[in-house]
Amino acid sequence: MLIPYFFSLIRSTINIPVKEAESEYLYPPQITFWGIKYNMPHIKKAAITVNFGGAIIPITISFYEILRVVFKNNYTFLTKYLFIFFAICYFFAKPVRGIGIAMPALIPPLISALLGIFMGGNPAVIAYTSGTLGTLIELIY
């Protein structure tokens, strides 16, 4: 079972371009976000990409785990914890110009771990699927 996680780590350097957009905003040379300074390139094109190891593979693993839960008729728990996770991440996520949509780094793992412990059922499946799908779905909205 560790092979998909290792494959996700190895393939995290692959970004699949989805869309290119013209950027009219001239970025300052540095942006400070959560106390960390980022040097911003001065380019007029912005690319929207999907990370293969950070989005595609975790979504595939999550759908596999969801199918296992659905076939055991536990889908009410699934919808509850995904909705709770989605709502909390949506509250914390903020759009940051020049960076994208960002939230404090410890919020998703902390929420998914707490949901896995307190919601019952299989805590590993709850934590993994809510941590991946909840964060990715929240970023779309």
Indicate the domain borders of the chain. 2-140
Digit-coded pLDDT (tens) for 71-83: 877 777 777 877 8
- pTM for the predicted model, two decimal places: 0.65
Q: Which of 78, 89, 87 is nearest to 119 (CA)?
A: 78
- pLDDT value, residue 27: 54
Strand runs (DSSP E) across the chain, as ranges? 15-22, 30-33, 36-39, 45-51, 94-96, 100-102
Give residue 70's pLDDT band: very low, low, confident or very high (50, 70, 90). confident
Are 115 and 127 in contact by the 8 Å Cβ rule? The answer is yes
Q: At what angle do helices 107-118 and 75-92 cross, to 10 degrees?
A: 150
Separation of alpha carbons 59 and 37, rounded Å: 31
Candidate from 19-28, 74-83, 93-102 with smallest mean pLDDT: 19-28
Separation of alpha carbons 127 and 121, rounded Å: 11
